[in-house]
C-alpha cells in the first residue's frame, strides 16, 4: 500500500464543474473509464509513430520509460520518452482508432450508470481534439483530464455516491493508486493490446483483468446491477 493520492487542483476544478452541470445522484452507479489503450488504441499507434524514426519497444513488459530504444539500440531516458509521448499525442490525438467493442460496451453500461472518462492526456491543447475523436467514435461522455496517479481524482469523482463505482484503466500505477485512495472502487485492469496484456502483472485487489470489452461488460454489469 502506498497511501492515498491527492487530487491535483486543475483536475478537482474540472470535477467541480462536472458536478455543477450534472449533479451526482448518490444511488446511481459510476463508471470511471480511462481512454488510451482502453477505449482508443494507443500502443499500436505509438509503435507505428516510433517506428518511423527507428524507435522500438524492448519488451512487452507494461512500461514506457525503460522500455523504448532508439535505432542504435540505446535506451531512451525518461525526459526523452516524455518528449516522444508528447509529440505522439500532438500528431495522433485525432487519428486514434477505437478499441473494438468499446463504444457498444459503454453505451450498454450508460444504461445503468453514469460514465465519465478520466484521462492523463499530455498537453491541455489536445483536450478538444480528444473529445472530437471520442465523439466521432460514438463515445460522447464527460471527460476529465489529469496527470499522474488517478486515486485522488477517482475519490473526488465518487464523493457522495452510495452506489457501486467501477474504475477501468490499463496502467498498473493508476490501478494501485485508486486501490489505495478509494476503497469502494471495483478495479478493472483493461489492456487492449494482447501482447502487452500477456506481459502485464496481476495486481492485488483487481476485480477483473482483461483485453476484451465483452468480458468487461458482463463483469461490470454484475457489479453495478441494472
Ligand atoms: Mg491508458
How confident is the model at residue 2, as a pLDDT?
A: 64
Domain ranges of the chain: 9-41+97-224, 43-92
How confident is the model at residue 126, as a pLDDT?
A: 96
DSSP 3-state of 185: strand
The answer to whether residue 1 scores a pLDDT higher than 70 is no
- CA–centroid distance, 142 to ligand 1, in Å, is 17
In what helix (H) or strand (E) does residue 190 lie, and over which residues does it extend? strand 185-190
Ramachandran area for residue 145 (φ above 0: left; ψ -120 to 50: alpha; else beta): beta
The answer to whether residue 10 scores a pLDDT higher than 80 is yes
How confident is the model at residue 138, as a pLDDT?
A: 98
Chosen CATH of 9-41+97-224 out of 3.30.310.50, 3.50.50.60, 3.40.50.1000, 3.30.1360.170: 3.40.50.1000
Write the CA distances from 132 to 4, 43, 59, 113, 143, integer angstroms: 33, 20, 32, 22, 11
How far apart CA 209 and CA 63 sit, in angstroms, is: 17
- CA–centroid distance, 88 to ligand 1, in Å, is 14
56 strand-pairing partners: 69
The answer to whether residue 226 scores a pLDDT higher than 90 is no
- CA–centroid distance, 75 to ligand 1, in Å, is 22
How far apart CA 34 and CA 43 sit, in angstroms, is: 14
- CA–centroid distance, 174 to ligand 1, in Å, is 9
- CA–centroid distance, 25 to ligand 1, in Å, is 27
- CA–centroid distance, 192 to ligand 1, in Å, is 10
- CA–centroid distance, 37 to ligand 1, in Å, is 5
- CA–centroid distance, 181 to ligand 1, in Å, is 18
In what helix (H) or strand (E) does residue 68 lie, and over which residues does it extend? strand 68-69
User: What are the tens digits of pLDDT across the range 107-116?
Assistant: 999 999 999 9
Mean pLDDT computed over 207-223: 98
DSSP per position, 18-41: HHHHSPPPTTS-EEEE--BTTTB-
User: What are the tens digits of pLDDT across the range 23-80?
Assistant: 888 899 999 999 999 999 999 999 999 999 999 999 998 889 999 999 999 999 999 9
Amino acid at each position: 500500500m502506498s497511501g492515498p493520492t491527492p487530487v491535483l487542483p486543475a483536475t478537482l476544478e474540472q470535477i467541480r464543474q462536472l458536478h455543477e452541470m450534472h449533479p451526482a445522484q448518490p444511488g446511481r452507479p459510476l463508471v470511471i473509464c480511462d481512454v488510451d489503450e482502453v477505449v482508443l488504441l494507443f500502443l499500436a499507434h505509438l509503435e507505428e509513430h516510433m517506428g518511423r524514426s527507428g524507435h522500438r519497444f524492448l519488451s512487452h513488459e507494461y512500461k514506457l520509460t525503460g522500455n523504448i530504444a532508439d535505432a542504435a539500440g540505446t535506451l531512451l531516458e525518461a525526459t526523452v520518452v516524455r518528449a516522444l509521448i508528447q509529440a505522439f499525442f500532438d500528431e495522433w490525438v485525432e487519428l486514434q482508432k477505437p478499441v473494438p467493442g468499446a463504444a457498444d460496451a459503454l453505451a450498454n453500461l450508460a444504461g445503468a450508470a453514469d460514465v465519465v472518462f478520466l484521462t492523463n492526456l499530455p498537453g491541455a491543447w489536445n483536450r478538444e481534439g480528444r473529445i472530437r475523436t471520442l465523439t466521432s467514435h460514438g463515445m460522447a461522455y464527460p471527460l476529465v483530464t489529469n496527470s499522474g496517479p488517478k486515486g485522488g481524482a477517482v475519490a473526488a469523482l465518487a464523493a457522495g455516491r452510495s452506489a457501486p463505482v467501477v474504475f477501468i484503466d490499463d496502467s498498473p500505477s493508476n490501478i494501485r493508486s485508486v486501490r489505495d485512495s478509494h476503497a469502494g472502487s471495483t478495479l478493472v485492469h483493461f489492456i487492449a493490446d494482447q501482447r502487452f496484456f500477456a506481459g502485464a502483472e496481476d495486481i492485488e485487489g483487481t476485480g477483473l483483468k482483461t483485453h476484451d470489452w465483452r468480458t468487461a461488460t458482463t463483469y461490470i454489469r454484475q457489479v453495478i446491477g441494472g
